[in-house]
A and B are shown apart, each in its own frame.
Chain A
Amino acid sequence: MVAPMVLAESVRKSFGMVEVLRGIDLEVAAGEVMVIIGPSGSGKSTFLRCINHLEKINSGRLSVDGELVGYREHGGKIFELKDREVCRKRAEIGIVFQHFNLFPHMTVLGNIIEAPVRVKGQEKTEAIANARRLLTQVGLADRETAYPAQLSGGQKQRIAIARALAMEPKLMLFDEPTSALDPELVGEVLDVMKQLAKAGMTMVVVTHEIGFAREVGDSLVFMDEGIIVERGHPKEIINSPKHERTRAFLSKVL
Chain B
Amino acid sequence: MTQLGPARTTAPTPSAIRAVPVRHPGRWVAAAVLLVLIAMAVDAVVFARVKRGNSLQTRFGWHVVSQFFLSHEVLHGLIVTLELTVIAMAIGIAGGVLLAVMRLAINPIVRWVAWSYIWFFRGTPVLVQLLFWFNLSYVFPQISLGIPFGPSWINLNANSLITPFIAAFVGLGLNEAAYMSEIVRAGILSVDEGQTEAASALGMNRILLMRRVVLPQAMRVIIPPTGNETISMLKTSSLASVITVTELLYSVQLIYASTYQIVPMLLVASLWYLIVTSVLSVGQFYIERYFGRGSSHAQPLTPFQKFRKSIVTVHQAMPLPGPRDAGSPLAGRKER
Contact = CB atoms under 8 A, between A and B. Distances in A.
A56 interface: no
B213 A103 contact: yes
B203 A101 contact: no
Interface stretch (B14-22, B204-212, B324-332): B204-212
Contacts, number: 71
Nearest to B216: A105
Given A103-B195, A104-B294, A148-B294, A52 B201 contact: yes
A84 interface: yes
A106 interface: yes
A167 B293 contact: no
A118 interface: yes
A61 interface: no
B203 A54 contact: no
Contact of A54 (B192, B201, B216): B201
Interface residues of A, number: 32
B294 A99 contact: no
Nearest to A146: B294
A95 interface: yes
Contact of A91 (B202, B206, B216, B291): B202
A94 B200 CA distance: 11
Contacts of B293: 105, 147
B194 A90 contact: no
A65 to B, nearest CB: 15
A88 B192 CA distance: 23
A90 B295 contact: no
A144 to B, nearest CB: 14
Interface string B286-302: 00000101111000000
Contacts of A149: 294-296
A87 B205 contact: yes
Interface in B265-320: 291, 293-296
A105 B217 contact: yes
A163 interface: yes
A46 B216 CA distance: 29
27 contacts: A54-B200, A54-B201, A83-B205, A84-B205, A87-B200, A87-B205, A90-B203, A97-B194, A97-B197, A97-B198, A99-B194, A101-B192, A101-B194, A101-B198, A105-B217, A106-B294, A115-B203, A115-B204, A118-B208, A118-B212, A119-B203, A119-B208, A120-B203, A147-B293, A148-B294, A149-B295, A164-B201
The 4 closest A-B pairs by CB, nearest first: A91-B203, A101-B198, A115-B202, A147-B294
